Amino acid sequence: MAKIYDFTVKDRKENDVSLKNYEGKVLLIVNTATGCGFTPHYKPLEEMYKDLKDKGFEILDFPSNQFANQAPGSDDEIHEFCSLKYGTDFPQFKKIDVNGETADPLFAYLATEKPFTGFGKGLKNAALKKFSDMNNKAFGDKAYIKWNFTKFLINRSGNIVSRFEPTEDMDNVRKAVEELLG
């Protein structure tokens, strides 16, 4: 059975990066987009990163354009947007697919281990579910990720602890990260 540290991903310059490099750290692995209603999540993500990186915390950012074409730029354009608009300093990797036959193996693994359980309650969440269901119809049983800014929390031993949908309050995400950091 695969473990998180068995995966190798590509950085935005196409270099291989082994997730073993992050062994012993608390990780938040996120699929992102620059033109999404959840793009402002970059701000609390960067604040959390700045506050907690010295305690052994890393955010791994994987842009994806599979949700309503909301990350259409090149890897460099996406990085420039995030750096200039949100001051992001956490590692940003190559743009990937997170669903379908071409899904990055890391995201297929994460989503299989921690499947989608819903966006939560409320009108906004119901509307997102309807929109995501339409978008993900083409991926069938390989619609692993339902929308941009899905976050997976990994403990220091490499175990997937939580999955946070983009509708989750970022304060709750931060609390979960802080609990793992001790």
| CA 149 from centre of chain | 5
* Residue 163 to residue 182: CA distance in whole angstroms: 19
For helices 42-52 and 170-181, angle between their N-to-C axes, nearest 10 degrees = 20
Tokens in use for 157?
A: 């031993």
CATH fold for domain 4-181: Glutaredoxin (3.40.30)
DSSP annotation of 144 reads: -
Q: Is 36 a catalytic residue?
A: yes
What is the residue-level pLDDT of the chain in tens, covering all 182 positions? 568 999 999 999 999 999 999 999 999 999 999 999 999 999 999 999 999 999 999 999 999 999 988 998 999 999 999 999 999 999 999 999 999 999 999 999 999 999 999 998 888 888 888 889 888 888 988 899 999 999 999 999 999 999 999 999 999 999 999 999 99
Residue 1 confidence (pLDDT): 56
Residue 134 confidence (pLDDT): 86
For helices 42-52 and 75-86, angle between their N-to-C axes, nearest 10 degrees = 80
Q: State in Å, rounded, how far the first CA of the chain is from the last one.
A: 28
Residue ranges per domain, the chain? Answer: 4-181
Which residue has tokens 């299989």? 112
* Residue 6 to residue 18: CA distance in whole angstroms: 8
The SS3 call for residue 10 is strand
Contacts of 34 (CB under 8 A, 6+ apart): 63, 70, 71, 73, 78, 81, 82
Choosing from 3, 35, 36, 100, the catalytic residue is 36
The SS3 call for residue 123 is helix
The pTM assigned to this predicted structure is 0.95
Residue 131 confidence (pLDDT): 82
The most distant pair of C-alpha atoms in the chain lies apart, rounded to whole Å, by: 42
Contact 23, 52 (CB under 8 A): no
